[in-house]
Amino acid sequence: MVMAIRGRPRGFDRDFALRKAMEVFWAKGYDGAQLTDLTAAIGIAPPSFYAAFGSKEAAFLDAVDLYIDRIASAPMRALEAAPTTREGVRAMLEGSVDIAVSNEPGGCLLILGVVNCLPTNRTARDRLLAARRETLKLIAARLRRGVRDGDLPRGTGSTRLAAFYHGVMQAISFQARDGATRKELTALVKPSLAPLDSLASPR
Amino acid sequence: MVMAIRGRPRGFDRDFALRKAMEVFWAKGYDGAQLTDLTAAIGIAPPSFYAAFGSKEAAFLDAVDLYIDRIASAPMRALEAAPTTREGVRAMLEGSVDIAVSNEPGGCLLILGVVNCLPTNRTARDRLLAARRETLKLIAARLRRGVRDGDLPRGTGSTRLAAFYHGVMQAISFQARDGATRKELTALVKPSLAPLDSLASPR
DNA sequence: GCATTTATATAAATGTCGATACAAAAATGA
DNA sequence: TCATTTTTGTATCGACATTTATATAAATGC
């Protein structure tokens, strides 16, 4: 027996709305994204927005989850899938470049979405901080695997080197936000790999 | 003959006020720094602030000039003063770490002061963007000098390598803002120097 | 002393933000 | 058809942001 839905049906698709909201947050950050921007991008009025998401903050949290699932996960999967550590790191960084130039203005939502720690942004900032810590953990785990695989010498400071590569991702985002081209961002990758070259230990 | 100053004298020191304003902008960014924060830190009421600076935007521009003169110039002088390129870059990066941990929360005003490009922040953002471009130019010039001095091989992409080291500074700022310790930030410097090692050409 | 000039304190004007009240609209179920 | 349920559109609320109007205070010049 089918329980039919009572009441007037929603006039828009919530998934579409969330995707649009994600794009606006990505482009303007949490503070910069005004409710006007969000509702205009989705094509709805404020009450529909609040009925669908609850609040701007809740919409942001949903948008971050969507961003991680649809956007940010690709470079981390590439990091994991590559046969060697060096190729994995390279693929991760190049994937970060792809993401950074795929929106206007450039950059990564997880890195640029909230930078200052006002009381208002606290929840949003903490969510992004947790996502960044997760990224860092994934990189460190891949580097440790590289040590096990013999890609990297024993005694490699995986945690510290992971922070370095996380830093390269942050630099890619910042410079993309400042208007850097894909070519300029890609040029950041090669010197970043030098630490892996100098550490390289032939098996 | 001395032209005495007519009218009630100002009850606070403008230089002190500008320094306090700089610290607030540094800690909270242009948007995040509210007039309440500024006037409370200085210890004056809004009309005194407007009489002294004209507007929040104008105060920010003055604060950025002060920041460049008193804070950000040190690492760039160290870059220039060092005898070798490698030592200059190392000194610049370590100076960036010093700056990044010298305020709470951490980071550099020129990098973190404005990240999103709202119409309201346009002027402030453009000022910081110009300052970052100037930083990039100074690094590139130092690297070109390194090529002339024989520190770096001919054909070194000075502009691209400068963008890389500017990126390391951005990473330092961002991770400092995320709460990284001095030790963690300093650990970013060593792997960053690897490109200069692998490029090193004995004279 | 008194007019003039400039700064301060209080209070408010003005605009914008996120969030809602309310009634009309659009669906179901009887 | 009509009661019920949920969404939509308009118009607005309350809070807070930057900025300013007004009156008072504190200095100089005559």
* Per-residue pLDDT of chain B in tens (203 residues, 90 and over written 9): 456 788 999 999 999 999 999 999 999 999 999 999 999 999 999 999 999 999 999 999 999 999 999 999 999 999 999 999 999 999 999 999 999 999 999 999 999 999 998 999 999 999 999 999 999 999 999 999 999 999 999 999 999 999 999 999 999 999 999 999 999 999 999 999 999 986 554 44
For residue A5, give the nucleotide whose C1' atom is nearest its CA: C28
Cβ neighbours for B78, distance < 8 A, ≥ 6 positions apart? B88, B91, B92, B95
Report how far residue B67's alpha carbon sits from residue B25's, in angstroms, rounded to the nearest whole number. Answer: 10
What pLDDT, on the 0 to 100 scale, is given for residue B6?
Answer: 87
A187 pLDDT exceeds 60?
yes
Cα dihedral: A178, A182, A185, A191 (round 10): -160
Residue B22 lies in a domain: yes
Q: What is the pLDDT of residue A199?
A: 54
The mean predicted confidence, pLDDT, of chain A is 95
**Span A71-90, mean pLDDT?**
98
Position A2 in a domain: no
Determine the pLDDT at residue B203. Answer: 40
User: What span, in angstroms and rounded, lies between the C-alpha atoms of B200 and B185?
Assistant: 25
User: Could you tell me which of B71, B91, B69, B68 has the C-alpha nearest to residue B79?
Assistant: B91
At residue A12, the pLDDT reads 97
Across the range A177-196, mean pLDDT stands at 97
Are the CB atoms for A176 and A106 separated by under 8 Å?
yes
A174 interfaces chain B, CB cutoff of 8 Å: yes
Task: Read off the pLDDT of each residue in A88-105 and give the average, rounded to a whole number.
Answer: 98
The answer to whether position B167 is within a domain reads yes
Q: How far apart are CA B77 and CA B37, in angstroms?
A: 32
pLDDT of residue A197: 86
Q: What is the pLDDT of residues A109-137, one digit of tens each?
A: 999 999 998 999 999 999 999 999 999 99
Domain membership flag for residue B1: no
pLDDT confidence band for A190 (50 / 70 / 90): very high
Chain B residues near residue A184 by CB distance under 8 angstroms: 160, 163
pLDDT > 70: what percent of chain A? 96
Domain of residue A115, CATH code: 1.10.357.10
Residue A43's region, left for phi above 0, alpha for psi from -120 to 50, else beta, is: left
Shortest Cα distance from A94 to chain B (angstroms)? 15
In a domain, A3, yes or no: no
What dihedral angle (degrees, nearest 10) is formed by the CA atoms of B80, B82, B83, B89? Answer: -80
* Model pLDDT, residue B4: 73
- The ipTM is 0.94
Backbone phi, psi, residue A193, to 5°: -85, -10
Tell me, yes or no, whether B109 lies in a domain: yes
Distance CA B12, CA B51 (A): 12
Given a contact cutoff of 8 angstroms between Cβ atoms, the answer to whether A152 and A85 are in contact is yes
Query: What region, left, alpha or beta, does residue A87 occupy, with left being phi > 0 and alpha being psi -120 to 50 degrees?
Result: alpha
- Residue A179: closest CA among B61, B75, B130, B46: B130
Give domain status of residue A73, yes or no: yes
Domains: count for chain A:
1
Which nucleotide lies nearest residue B54, CA to C1'? D19
pLDDT at res. A66: 98
Question: CA at A41, C1' at D16: how many angstroms apart?
Answer: 26
B106 part of a folded domain: yes
Q: Do B191 and A129 touch (CB under 8 A)?
A: no
- Tell me the chain A residues in contact with residue B105 when contact means C-beta distances shorter than 8 Å: 117
Q: Which residues of B touch A168 (CB under 8 A)?
A: 167, 171
List the domain range (segments joined by +) for residue B27: 14-198
Average pLDDT, integer, range A171-189: 98
pLDDT tens digit string along A39-63? 999 999 999 999 999 999 999 999 9
